[in-house]
Amino acid sequence: MWVLLMIIFSQPYHVATVDILGTYPEKAVCVKAQKRAMDIGTIAKTSFGCIKIVGVKRLKNVSRETRR
């Protein structure tokens, strides 16, 4: 499983918020969603990334992202 994260920094070395934007079964799908999120345009102190989570098939209370 791959998780798309959005990290918002409040200072150069301080993380203010980490949000999960979606969960994906494959890296390619996560990267596509990451590029789409980056194209929307956000504040300058924001970073996006796909992280592989090993050993978890699906997280509780997290909805599955629909494929588009």
User: Tens digit of pLDDT per residue, the chain (68 long)?
Assistant: 999 999 998 887 899 999 999 999 999 999 999 999 888 867 778 899 999 998 766 656 555 554 44
**CA neighbours within 13 Å on the CB side: how many for 21?**
21
What is the pTM assigned to this prediction? 0.72
For CA atoms 52, 57, 63, 64, the dihedral sign is: positive
Whether residue 46 contacts residue 8, with contact meaning beta carbons closer than 8 Å, is answered with yes
Report domain extents, the chain. 2-52
